[in-house]
Amino acid sequence: MTAQYLSFGALALVTLWSAYKVVTARLITHAALWMALSFTSVSGIFLMLQQEFIAALQVLIYAGAITTMIIFAIMLSSIREIRVEPQEKRSIGQRIRASGLLAVVVGLVFAAFMTYVYYVSEIPKEAVPDAGLLTVRQVGATLFTRFTVPFEVASILLLLAMIGAIILTAKETE
């Protein structure tokens, strides 16, 4: 039992700290790398929840594909701002606004409120006992029977995204 609390605590700490660093990191590349760490520790929590398939996909899609894509976008877009982000002189009022105090409050209040709701609500707090593992086979079978249409729609969405990205970024050739 304690092992569970300990591992969850460690993973949660890493997740939150790296998410915090995504917001506050000065260099945008550092922010991207902190984001990869955050995704990785969330995948660790998925492993704790015994969802190996989703944990692997989390790493594959978020830590692998999306992080790499964002890194490429950084390299292609803000090449002048990579090393040092602009540091203008600011007045105190601007600094408070820039630190996003209001936004911090909004985020924290949201999180605290949600946690409070979960805490006081009547839902059972413990997992269903004797939970069988969901196999990839089951997920696949459900995906291709009950969710065939959403699956196809998702494929079309990906195809459209791919075509759109190519059209948007390809340089015009004479």
Partner 1 sequence: MSLADLWAQHWFRAFVTGSLVLVFALGNFYITLWLERKESAWIQNRLGPMRAGPQGLLQVLADLFKLLQKEDIVPRNVDRILFLIAPFIAHIPALLIFLVVPFGPNMVVADYDIGIIMIAAVTSYAVIATFIAGWGSNNKYSLLGAMRGAAQMISYEVTLVMSVIGVVMMAGSLKLSDIVLAQAERGVLGWYLFPQFIGFIVYLIASLAELNRAPFDLMEAESELVAGYHTEYSGFRFAIFLLVEYVHMIAWSAIAATLFLGGWVGPTPADIPVIGPKLFGWMTGPVWDNVWGFFWFLFKTYLLIFILIWIRWTFPRVRIDQLMDLGWKFLLPVSLFNIFLTGVMKYGWNVLAESGSPLRWIFWLWR
Partner 2 sequence: MQLPIYFPLGLGALLFGIGLWGALTRTNAVRILMFIELMLNGVNLNLMTFTRYYYPENATGPILTLFVMTVAAAEASIGLAIILQIVRNRGTVEVDKVDLLKG
Angle at 140 between CA 136 and CA 145, to 5 degrees: 155
Distance CA 108, CA 92 (A): 23
Of 83, 68, 66, nearest to 28 by C-alpha is 83
- Is residue 63 at the binding interface for partner 1, with CB under 8 A as the rule? yes
Applying CB under 8 A, which of residues 12, 19, 25, 56 lies at the interface with partner 1? 56
Q: Does 103 bind partner 2 (CB under 8 A)?
A: yes
How many whole angstroms separate alpha carbon 173 and alpha carbon 169? 12
Helix intervals (H) in the chain: 2-24, 28-48, 52-57, 67-77, 92-99, 101-120, 136-145, 148-169
Nearer to partner 2, 124 or 174 (CB): 124
The answer to whether 166 contacts partner 1 (rule: CB under 8 A) is no
Q: How far is the CB of 44 from partner 1 (least distance, A)?
A: 9
Distances (CA, A) of 149 to 40, 144, 153, 155: 31, 9, 6, 10
Tell me how many residues contact partner 1 (CB under 8 A).
27
Q: Which is nearer to partner 1, 93 or 129 (CB)?
A: 129
In the complex, least distance from residue 35 CB atom to partner 2, rounded to whole angstroms: 5
Restricted to residues 117-156, the positions that interact with partner 1 (CB under 8 A) are 133, 135-136
Burial of 35 (0-12, 13-18, 19+ CB in 10 A): buried
Q: Which is nearer to partner 2, 133 or 174 (CB)?
A: 133
Shortest Cβ distance from residue 75 to partner 1 (Å)? Answer: 6
Task: Pick from 14, 21, 25, 64 the residue near partner 1 by CB under 8 A.
Answer: 64
Q: What is the CA radius of gyration of the chain?
A: 21
Binding residue for partner 2, selected from 96, 114, 148, 152, defined by CB under 8 A: 114
Tell me which residues touch partner 1 (CB under 8 A): 3-4, 7, 29, 33, 36, 47-50, 52-53, 56-57, 59-60, 63-65, 67-68, 71-72, 75, 133, 135-136
